Amino acid sequence: MQKLSRLILASGLAACLPAAGADVPAARLLVKPLLCVTDHNVASCPMTFDIRWKSPAPVEYCLNDSALATPLRCWPKVDSGEHVQKRDVSEPFVYWLGPPGGTQRAAEVKIDVLRLDSADRRRERRTRHVWDVL
């Protein structure tokens, strides 16, 4: 039970707090949308991401994409920024904010991919019990 409590607490913290390191000022990163739904007829999602960040103090930050080695965009010493990115999404990835050339993250947001199709065909079977309405 203690482990379960720790797990729930840790999950909550991971979801709520910016991922700032000790010497990186925290920032708030907002990204929309957050979910791509794929299926047997939809291999990827063409998405336009609206990315905004805000920091309590002016900072020099870069916006990074976990799938790319170089930053998407860097800002001079400012306390907020906006960026729009069009991207075809087929795998989950993370947008993260951090100092130029650094590896520490001030904030990050995961873009999730939900796959409705399954390699296991049995997961597609639908039972017909009275309570099974979905």
Residues that bind another protein (CB under 8 A): 3-4, 6-7, 10-11, 13-14, 19-21, 34-35, 37-42, 45, 64-69, 91-94, 96, 103-105, 108, 110, 112-116, 118-134
Question: DSSP character for 31?
Answer: E
For another protein, the closer CB: 39 or 82 = 39
Say which amino acid occupies 133: V
Distance in Å, CB of 57 to another protein, minimum: 20
Residues 17, 23, 25, 28, CA torsion sign? negative
Distance in Å, CB of 49 to another protein, minimum: 15
* Cα 106 to Cα 23: distance, rounded to the nearest angstrom: 9
Distance in Å, CB of 78 to another protein, minimum: 22
For another protein, the closer CB: 75 or 96 = 96
What letters, b where the CB count within 10 A reaches 16 and e where it falls short, cover 41-50?
eeeebebebe
